């Protein structure tokens, strides 16, 4: 369950939140299960935060720092994550339908069993080393517009589409 002090602080917006984070760099952030729908959190420093099962639908997290954050089972439908830093983040079983992941850094992120659809915006999305096993709703086109490498783990249903020699050579 979320720390109520953290919920009240984040609701003041990214400027107040980031200032508080600078003053409390070692505080463990718990926003698990918090209702943060529709919040303007662009460039918020949520590095290492616990956002497990948080409700973030319709929020703006563009450019947010979410490196190492736990977003397992978070609701991220129609969220703007453009340019967000999610390196080493846990996004297992997240609902990312209709979200903007353009230029998002998901390097080494665990995105197993996450839900996507054709409306998720990819483009220069860093999926190097990301674990997308058992993710649903991804298309070959979305992956082809992203940055991948030999360590990127894709869902089995994309394996045949991705075996194209040109695609494999682009991963090296």
Question: How does residue 168 score in pLDDT terms, banded at 50, 70 and 90?
Answer: very low
For the stretch 112-131, what's the b/e string if a residue is b when 16 or more beta carbons lie within 10 angstroms of its beta carbon?
bbbbbbeebbbeebbbbbbb
Question: How does residue 172 score in pLDDT terms, banded at 50, 70 and 90?
Answer: very low
Question: How does residue 52 score in pLDDT terms, banded at 50, 70 and 90?
Answer: very high
Mean pLDDT of 139-154: 95
Mean pLDDT of 44-60: 98
* Token representation of residue 84: 């967000």
CA dist 164 to 68, 88, 118, 140, 143, Å? 32, 28, 21, 11, 13
Decide if pLDDT at 37 tops 50: yes
Mean pLDDT of 156-165: 70
Choose among 145, 137, 132: nearest CA to 97: 137
């Amino acid at each position: 369950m979320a720390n109520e002090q953290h919920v009240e602080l984040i609701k003041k917006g990214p400027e107040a939140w980031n200032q508080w984070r600078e003053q409390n760099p070692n505080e463990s952030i718990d926003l698990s299960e918090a209702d943060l729908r529709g919040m303007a959190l662009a460039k918020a420093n949520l590095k290492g935060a616990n956002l497990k099962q948080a409700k973030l639908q319709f929020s703006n997290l563009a450019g947010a720092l979410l490196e190492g954050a736990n977003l397992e089972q978070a609701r991220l439908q129609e969220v703007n994550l453009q340019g967000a830093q999610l390196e080493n983040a846990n996004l297992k079983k997240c609902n990312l339908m209709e979200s903007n992941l353009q230029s998002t850094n998901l390097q080494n992120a665990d995105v197993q069993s996450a839900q996507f659809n054709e409306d998720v915006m990819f483009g220069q999305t860093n999926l190097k080393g990301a674990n997308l096993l058992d993710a649903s709703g991804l298309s070959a086109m979305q992956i082809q517009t992203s940055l991948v490498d030999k360590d990127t783990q894709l869902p089995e249903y994309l394996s045949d589409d991705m075996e194209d020699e040109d695609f494999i050579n682009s991963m090296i």
